[in-house]
Structure 1
Amino acid sequence: MSDMSQVEVVYLPTGAFSPGDEAVVIALIKIEGGREAMLVFSSLDRLMAACGQGQSWVSLQVDRSAGIEELARVCGVDTIVRDMGDPIPVRHSIPKQRGAQS
């Protein structure tokens, strides 16, 4: 059994997905120099404040010592932005229904 003090729950913005999908795409942002970074939030409230209510997301339990860094490596990035406070554009908006007025 794992030591729960070594585990943290994090929230990550993703591409749109449906229940039952076997994989999700972690949303990345562009940072200085044109590099990409992975956004990680310590609560769903913080993710929603930064990304908006229409943002798809996933929560993960990761090892505190290296879990986020390993996930970033798998996603092909070396920069992690935690709890970004400034609002950012929604990466994947909810599609409008046909006939919906703007």
Structure 2
Amino acid sequence: MSNPVSNVDTMSNPNAGKPAPQPVPPGFPPMVYVPCGQYPTGEGGSTMAAELRRTEDGKLALLAYSALDRLVRCCGQHQPWVLVRSEELSRIYQAQPYEAILLDTELPERLRHDAAASG
């Protein structure tokens, strides 16, 4: 089976001006673990942001995990994360619009954080 995640695209916004997708699919877990990372700002500081990923068909996707052990299994033990109530995913969308939400999707090894990158 092919992996739908192809590369990292953390801050781009291809959805500017487009209508918002359904924020949470039906039957979605009430809370999810969202991969995130620290990114430099223009002022010399940094900010925390969700790690959006491009799918093989070019869509920008938010990854979400229904349990911490699934995030670790699918993203590696060094992946930073934040626990989010599913109804709050719209806040991430407002700051970082995405076209899809992928639940419990495994990242290829080459896209995972290593110990040096995580702190």
**Smaller-chain TM-score bracket:** 0.5 to 0.7
In 2, Cα distance between equivalents of 1:73 and 1:36 = 14
In 2, Cα distance between equivalents of 1:79 and 1:62 = 14
- Deviation at 1:25? 1.2
Contact 2:61–2:101 under 8 Å retained in 1: yes
Query: Which structure: larger Rg?
Result: 1
Correspondence 1:10 to 2:51: no
Contact 2:76–2:112 under 8 Å retained in 1: no
In 2, Cα distance between equivalents of 1:80 and 1:61 = 14
Scaled by the length of structure 2, the TM-score of the pair is 0.55
**Which stretch shows the higher mean deviation, 33-42 or 48-57?**
33-42
Structure 2: which amino acid aligns with 1:14? C
Structure 2: which amino acid aligns with 1:48? V
Scaled by the length of structure 1, the TM-score of the pair is 0.63
SS at match of 1:50: helix
Partner in structure 1 of residue 61 of structure 2: 37
Which structure 2 residues correspond to residues 1-102 of structure 1 after superposition, within 5 A?
8-16=30-38, 23-63=47-87, 67-69=88-90, 71-84=92-105, 86-89=106-109, 90-95=111-116
What stretches of structure 1 move > 6 A for 4+ residues in a row? Answer: none
Mark the runs of 5 or more structure 1 residues left unpaired by the alignment: 1-6, 97-102
Mark the runs of 5 or more structure 2 residues left unpaired by the alignment: 1-28, 40-45
Say how many residue pairs are matched: 83
Higher strand share: 2
CA RMSD across the alignment: 2.9
Higher helix share: 1
